[in-house]
Structure 1
Amino acid sequence: MAWAVLLAGLTWFSTRNDPPTVREQRTLAEAGPVVDGAIGELVAAAFDAVPVLMPPEIHRGCRVTPFADGATLSREVELAVPGGEERALLERIAERLPTTWRAGVRVTTDGPRLRADAGEFVVVRGRPVADGRIRLIVDTGCRLVGDGYVRPGPGAAGAEVGVLAEALRALGGSAAGTEAAVTAPCPGGGIVRTAWSGVGEPATSPQAALASLAGGAPVVQTPELYAYRRDGVAVLADLHPDGVRVGATSGCAR
């Protein structure tokens, strides 16, 4: 009887004071701030590239256990870097990330792959997806939803708004269709913020239209991508036959 009482008491204390020990015990709500913080760390570590933040995505329908449904939260950072420097950039990012992340880059038959552990069972992966383009993904794996993920607020508009509007004018569009900003906390304080907007098919070549804003020296110029820096703001233009989508990012300056 004494043993049963002691075991019950220890179990009660543990459930209220000990942190969860496996991923399945941590909810999406608890993992959200870790994911958001990891995005800021990645942007800060990739200061010599042109970054843009993609909107968070929640995928429902996975199963935490045979009896419990769950969801996965993932966030991405797209990086533009001169062609041929993708592996070197991934290696520099790995070196700059916190040592507790145990980040590293290995070369596979499909190219270089970055992998890191942001803590709380949150995984970071990175790889080139095209010439001059890298995708970094922060992923929670399947979790119980809990109170749900709360997306970081848009924060106060910064220099990215004016630079985005300037790019849209050069392309013959306007900022009226600007999408909601995507943000994440910077490791040293403040936020990194990407404002997105799209325009229809420009009347002239997007590369030619944006060349003057890039000072004639874009970071990346391919048929599908044009990236440059303007007054400390990173600008990445996705070029498609039916239109252009432009993202402008400020924050997490080194």
Structure 2
Amino acid sequence: MLGVLAVVSHRTDAPTVREQRDLAAAIRVVDSAMGISVGQAGPDAVPVIMPITVDEGCRITPFRDGATATGVVRFFTKDAAGLLGRLGAGYPAAYEAKVSTDGKALRADAGGFVALRGKVIAPGEVQVTVTTGCRPSDAVEAVSLLPEYPQHAKPGEVLSVLGAASVEDSSVAFARCPSGRPATTASAVGHQVTAGPAAAREHDHGVAVVDTAEVYAYKRGASEAVVVLSTSERDARVYVTELC
């Protein structure tokens, strides 16, 4: 009787610990939580979606290997603490999001044993990290199950306006917005940039959100945002995000 009950429970009961959900299932939760985060950016913050990474080699048990998936959204804003508080209030009630008393950290449960953490990492930057913890998985299959969407953002065009002599290291990342449509961030590095980052905003008729020596961020219309990060005296990385 106990054997029969164990088999039935294994096949029908909901997971009760993280190790009972594989990475492919958890990574969809990560994707959704990132999209919900991006959707809360508002007019005073520019989000940047980083590609979801999968790290193999963790241990589920002493005899069983696993993998961990991590998604990150960076937000550039003039009021990092205020943005973190707004994020905490804006997540679904099921997330049970809580902001620390000093307003610099956030903890939430995205469901499916997926943890969401937010923190102020600089006066003008908030980082939200969503992680699965160690899971049983075929890591290659888990990543391939994430949908890829067409994206129209072209960081190379921004770098061209900035006078970059060459462009390389391009990448694209996605997150599923609450509406179901995708948000995307495309990025690229430009070398030997000759113009200041404000030149790109002026060319795009954008509205500046952040203007510091390290970060220049602006919105161009309601659906797209640009971040220019100086990586050296003459080089810059540009992120172009199609918003939720």
Would you call these one fold, judging by a TM-score over 0.5?
yes
Q: Structure 2 CA distance, aligned partners of 1:216 and 1:97?
A: 28
| 8 Å CA contact retained: 1:213, 1:230 | no
Could you say which residue in structure 2 is the equivalent of 1:30?
Answer: 25
Could you say which residue in structure 2 is the equivalent of 1:171?
Answer: 162
Q: Structure 1 CA distance, aligned partners of 2:138 and 2:227?
A: 35
Shift of 1:168: 1.7
| 8 Å CA contact retained: 2:206, 2:218 | no
Aligned ranges for residues 104-115 of structure 1 at < 5 Å?
Answer: 104-108=98-102, 112-115=104-107
Q: Structure 1 CA distance, aligned partners of 2:235 and 2:142?
A: 32
Note if 1:8 corresponds to 2:3: yes
**Identity percentage of aligned residues:** 38
SS in structure 2 at match of 1:218? strand
Q: Deviations over 1:52-108 (max 9, x none)?
A: 1011111222211111111111010010101xx111111111111100000111035
SS in structure 1 at match of 2:142? coil
Shift of 1:234: 1.1
Match among 69, 77, 81 for residue 81 of structure 1: 77
Note if 1:221 corresponds to 2:216: no
Measured on the aligned residues, the alpha-carbon RMSD in Å equals 2.1
Structure 1 letter corresponding to 2:95: W
Which consecutive unaligned segments of at least 5 residues does structure 2 have?
none
Gap change, CA 1:180 and 1:219, over 3 Å in 2: same
Q: Structure 2 CA distance, aligned partners of 1:211 and 1:39?
A: 26
| 8 Å CA contact retained: 1:32, 1:149 | yes
Using the size of structure 2 for normalisation, the TM-score is: 0.89
Which consecutive unaligned segments of at least 5 residues does structure 1 have?
1-5
Q: Structure 2 CA distance, aligned partners of 1:177 and 1:133?
A: 25
Q: Structure 1 CA distance, aligned partners of 2:170 and 2:130?
A: 22
Q: Structure 2 CA distance, aligned partners of 1:33 and 1:61?
A: 21
Q: Deviations over 1:160-193 (max 9, x none)?
A: 33xx344222111389647232111111121001
Using the size of structure 1 for normalisation, the TM-score is: 0.86
Could you say which residue in structure 1 is the equivalent of 2:46?
Answer: 50
In the comparison of the two structures, how many residue pairs are matched? 239
Note if 1:64 corresponds to 2:60: yes
Larger Rg: 1
